[in-house]
Amino acid sequence: MVFQVLPESGPVTIDSQQTSRIFEFFVPDEAQQMFLRYIALFQDNDPLGGDPPTFQIRAGTGVFTSVGPASGSVSILNGRNETVGSVSCVRKDLDIFLLTISDLVENSGPWKIRIRNNDPESLRFFGFSAQDEDETLQPWMVLGNSKDVRSSGGFFEMRNEDGSTKDIEIRNWGTAPLRFNEVLGPLKEEASLSLTTLPATVDPHQLKLLTIHCTVENASPSAVHFLNCNDTNKEHTRLAISVLVPSGHHSGGGVLTGGSTFPGEHLM
């Protein structure tokens, strides 16, 4: 399984009629084809379905080659005006765009890409590149706070003096459905903490919830649990739970605290 995240930091925000900074992507010397699959993110549960972006590809010191869903196949030239490949773009469902770079000439890099947002709305673009088209179908799970681009799992503390459950948001910013293979019930790391609800699938763009329940009173259990799913980035699956008992609280359930903090830019 070999793919590259584009950009590595997560989705990049591009305002209307603006062009992103330039991102380099790796093309192996032996590659005959490369595939880049991008998703255009708008709001939770709401693909925009608006004007398609323009993708601009550059090989070595050549000029940028522009391509979109209506372009057909476009030749890519190097700095000596030689053809070193061709690129086409297909619009898929859910505002996902697949670029195919074919007829690659060896040692034509470095390869770079930038994206122009042609829609009146600000959008966030995120993608994956690989030699194998199927490898560009990747989920990207974000737990909890959606205001930051990068997800590294989540540390959750929830203050809820009326109960001992915590709903945690799950988003999928990737190009393929996020699928879970978890058994509901007590966590093996801490039996007093239970996973009580979890979606089987979270599609691209979607927001859904998981629920953690604490079964003890006046105790402070904690656990780090890695969710079993098809997101291959283990840090995305890290769920750290801490249950706190408020000062002077002597009855009722524990207190779960919730939130997650990650470095990065504002997204949703």
pLDDT band, very low/low/confident/very high, at 258 (cuts 50, 70, 90): very low
Are 58 and 96 within 8 A, CB to CB? no
pLDDT digits (tens, 9 = 90+) for 89-124: 999 999 999 999 999 999 999 999 999 999 999 999
| CB neighbours of residue 38 within 10 Å | 25
- Domain(s) labelled CATH 2.60.40.10 in the chain stretch across 142-256
Per the structure block, which two tokens stand in for 115? 């994206």
**CA–CA separation, 1 and 214 (whole Å):** 38
- The alpha carbon dihedral of 44, 49, 53, 59 has a sign of positive
Closest to 145 in 3D by CA, of 136, 135, 155, 137: 155
Q: Which residues are CB-neighbours of 181 under 8 A, at least 6 positions away? A: 228, 229
State phi, psi for 41 to the nearest 5 degrees: -90, 140
Are 23 and 6 within 8 A, CB to CB? yes
The angle formed by the CA atoms of residues 47, 50 and 53, to the nearest 5 degrees, is 105
Q: Which CATH architecture best describes the domain 4-138?
A: Sandwich (2.60)
State phi, psi for 171 to the nearest 5 degrees: -120, 150
* pLDDT score, position 159: 52
Per the structure block, which two tokens stand in for 76? 């890519």
Q: Mean of the pLDDT values across residues 145-163?
A: 55
The angle formed by the CA atoms of residues 179, 183 and 186, to the nearest 5 degrees, is 135
Percentage of the chain beyond pLDDT 70 is 84
**CA–CA separation, 173 and 248 (whole Å):** 42
| CB neighbours of residue 261 within 10 Å | 11
- Domain(s) labelled CATH 2.60.120.380 in the chain stretch across 4-138
pLDDT digits (tens, 9 = 90+) for 235-246: 999 999 888 876
pLDDT digits (tens, 9 = 90+) for 31-72: 999 999 999 999 999 999 999 999 999 999 999 999 999 999
Per the structure block, which two tokens stand in for 227? 């969710």
| CB neighbours of residue 227 within 10 Å | 21
pLDDT digits (tens, 9 = 90+) for 160-189: 444 588 899 999 999 999 999 999 999 999
Q: For the sheet containing 207-214, what is the strand order?
A: 141-143, 165-172, 207-214, 190-197, 185-187
Q: Which CATH architecture best describes the domain 142-256?
A: Sandwich (2.60)
